[in-house]
Amino acid sequence: MIEKRAILAAVLMGAVFLLGQLFLFPTPPATPPIEQVPKSAEAPATKKDAPTPPAPVVAPPIATPPAALRERPQQRLAVVESPLYRAVVSSAGGAVTSASATVSVNPVVVAPTITKQPLSLTLALGASATFTVEASGTDLVYQWFHEGRGLLAATTAILKTNIIGTYHVVVSNSAGQVQSRDVTLIAIPIPLLGSPQQSP
């Protein structure tokens, strides 16, 4: 009886030991074998520390104008002497010329100024008098007046007349006009020969 109990106890202890090995110390999974790559299949080693050189900078090509445009300075010198002008617009693809145009320069108009006034005259009755005026300016136009009325054909700087009275002249152009001072023409009678002279 005692021997049976001892055998049963030994069997139980062996079962407990086996269970402890299975649960407390599990068997690690098997590691697959590492395949060795042959040296010929290995990728070539690269130098990580060496910097990559920058790409070279290439300047854009310079468009060369056609031969006709390269000779343009000589043609421009000739155009300056001509009344017709043209504009030429060019690029790398070619050139285009505008229609001809005429350039006219208007001269500067200077307003009139009287530099020498006419003078009053006293002449013998029936004699002819000459009034003159001097003026400066551009494209001057003269007009003489007698007693405030314009005289026909009296449009120069010189006026010849034998009519007594008051005269003045107006000098004008597109920039303005200026009037002279009034002058008078006085005629005195000529005494007849043999007529008695009155004593003062």
Tell me which of 76-80, 114-118, 169-173 is least confident.
Answer: 76-80
**pLDDT value, residue 126:** 81
Domain layout of the chain by residue ranges: 67-102, 113-188
Residue 4 or residue 44, greater confidence: 4
CATH superfamily to which 113-188 belongs: Immunoglobulins (2.60.40.10)
pLDDT of residue 140: 97
Q: What percent of the chain has pLDDT over 70?
A: 60
Q: Are strands 113-116 and 134-136 parallel, antiparallel or unpaired?
A: antiparallel
pLDDT at position 78 is 39
State the Cα–Cα distance between residues 52 and 55, nearest whole angstrom. Answer: 9
Overall pTM surpassing 0.95 (yes/no): no
Q: What is the pLDDT of residue 194?
A: 56
Q: For 126-155, what is the mean pLDDT? A: 95
